[in-house]
Chain A
Amino acid sequence: MIKEDISPIQSRVLELLRNKVDPQRTIDLGSNVIEDTGLDSVSVMDLVMELEDEFDVSIPLDRIAEVRTVADLADALEALTGGRPATGDAATGQGD
């Protein structure tokens, strides 16, 4: 799953996730968002909502259910942002 070039969305997802987990843990694109992060499902849902705000999208529940890895989560966001460059939108942020 690990891609050589990390997209801006992947980079932002990794950044947010690394801020939430124990610094001892190594998180990369292949990490499982629950098993490898030590986060409970509620914290993961909170993270998803933060990302939704930031990228101004809503990820449908069935898409979230398919997410296993950090790369999957980034893919779901990539698909919904319609492949538009993420950096500008991500930088402006829509979070509260």
Chain B
Amino acid sequence: MGIKQRIKTIGEAYGKLQALGRDPTSLEFDSVTSPTRGVLDGKPVMLFGTNNYLGLTFDPACVAAAAEAAGRFGAGTTGSRIANGTYAGHRALEAEIAAFYDKRAAIVFSTGYLANLGVISALAEKGDYLLIDADSHASIYDACKMSDAETIRFRHNNAEDLAKRLARLKGTPGDKVIVVEGIYSMLGDTAPLDEIAAVRREAGAGVYLLVDEAHSLGVLGRSGRGKCQAAGVEADCDYIVGTFSKSVGTTGGYCVSDVEGFEVLRSYSRPYMFTASLAPPTVATARAAFRRMAEAPELRERLWRNAQRLYDGLAKLGFELGPEVSPVVAVKLPDPASAVTLWNVLIDAGVYTNIAIPPATPNALSLLRVSVSAAHDDAQITRALEVFAEAGRKIGLPGRGGTATASRVA
């Protein structure tokens, strides 16, 4: 397919969705004024699609840290750590993240996407194997493409299928790296990490486990470390990857590990070496946010209370939802057109959510991804549920001859 044909094909596919209202791919906010409020096309909206789980984007300590760092250390580093050097802030942030996880070392990357790219592509080389959950995020798939290792998919959240595929590789030379996520971003379901960790343990030497906690950092676990902590299997998680762009409220990514020699990655991981390092205000924000996460566990409690209320409320309205209560509440819809229609009607009524349609979704589901924050107050959740009820009535969802339950169950 040439450039012109690609433009035409993609244009036609999106044209159909644009005909139903706003273009989900080029939405513009006039302003975002708090973790839960923004203005879209001149219309105030409540934000229910931000992944801003702890609401730290406007946390006074985080904002002050960013301003102070910009004044003291400048607006940017203008280059990579290999070329322009590591700043004291980078080192301090890495030490603090390692301490937060009680792991030997942490490496910081410029985004969460780059963290997966940088770690996965560097861990597995030609002759090695990457065993990834079929519902993995695009950054994991892209990382596998970048690696010269062979990539094998196993059925989503199916430890038995993983074990079967590992067994097929028994006696084959090369390391095997299992890659899973703590919370899967589309449906909000969590990985059965206790089972997956057991598979890794039984498989023995040369088999490693990497867990991407992008959506579970600050959300799960006694001290907010994520699903590995919640499942009590941190010792089995050789590499934990995460992002600053959800609970941490800024941008960036990281990987922590106890594996000896882990930091050698700095010398050969291309996504670490050949991109600009995090700017001082971003580093300072992330450091402040990790401190806030540790000192304010009530944010996590509030997040879960909000998640439970929203999930229960939407279930009561008859919407078909993701399999478990989570800060990501996935509303399943029969087809992309009804998802886009509902999404537009909700925005008209002042509720912003994320739309997720094939091919970005598992099992070709059409979804509205509704994410809650600790920063939502009770009145906002109540209002969002009212808006969902009105919007549902307006377009005949759910319960229109059972169409809302016609979609495939994950």
Chain A: residues with CB nearer than 8 A to chain B?
40-42, 45, 49, 53, 56-62
Contact = CB atoms under 8 A, between A and B. Distances in A.
Nearest to A59: B152
B270 interface: no
B358 A61 contact: no
B382 interface: no
Given A40-B364, A58-B168, A45 B134 contact: yes
A57 B165 CA distance: 8
Contacts of B150: 60-62
A41 B134 CA distance: 13
B201 interface: no
Interface in B348-392: 358-359, 362-364
B151 A42 contact: no
A23 B155 CA distance: 28
Given A58-B169, A61-B144, 14 more contacts: A40-B358, A40-B364, A41-B359, A42-B362, A42-B364, A49-B155, A53-B164, A57-B168, A58-B168, A61-B150, A61-B152, A61-B153, A62-B150, A62-B151
Contacts of A56: 168
Interface string B123-161: 000000000001000000000100000111101000000
Contacts of B165: 58
A42 B363 contact: yes
Interface residues of B, number: 16
Contacts, number: 29
Interface of B: 134, 144, 150-153, 155, 164-165, 168-169, 358-359, 362-364
Most buried by B among A45, A57, A58, A60: A58
Given A40-B358, A45-B134, A61 B168 contact: no
Contact of B151 (A40, A49, A57, A61): A61
A58 B152 contact: yes
Nearest to B165: A58
Nearest to A40: B364
A58 B88 CA distance: 46
Contacts of B169: 58
A95 B134 CA distance: 18
A60 B134 contact: no
A58 B154 CA distance: 9
24 contacts: A40-B364, A41-B359, A42-B358, A42-B362, A42-B363, A42-B364, A45-B134, A45-B153, A49-B153, A53-B164, A56-B168, A57-B168, A58-B152, A58-B165, A59-B152, A60-B150, A60-B151, A61-B144, A61-B150, A61-B151, A61-B152, A61-B153, A62-B150, A62-B151
Contacts of B358: 40, 42
Contacts of B364: 40, 42
A4 B346 CA distance: 58
A45 B153 CA distance: 10
Most buried by B among A42, A45, A56: A42
Most buried by A among B134, B153, B169, B362: B153
Contacts of B164: 53
B406 to A, nearest CB: 16
A40 B364 CA distance: 8
Interface pairs A-B: 4 shortest CB-CB: A60-B150, A61-B151, A58-B152, A42-B364
A44 B394 CA distance: 36
Nearest to B361: A42
Nearest to B408: A42
A49 to B, nearest CB: 7
B359 A60 contact: no
A53 B161 CA distance: 9
B170 to A, nearest CB: 12
B216 to A, nearest CB: 25
A49 B160 CA distance: 14
A20 to B, nearest CB: 15
A56 B164 CA distance: 9
A42 B169 CA distance: 25
A60 B152 contact: yes
A56 to B, nearest CB: 7
A57 B153 CA distance: 12
Contacts of B153: 45, 49, 61
Contacts of A61: 144, 150-153
Contacts of A59: 152
Contacts of B134: 45
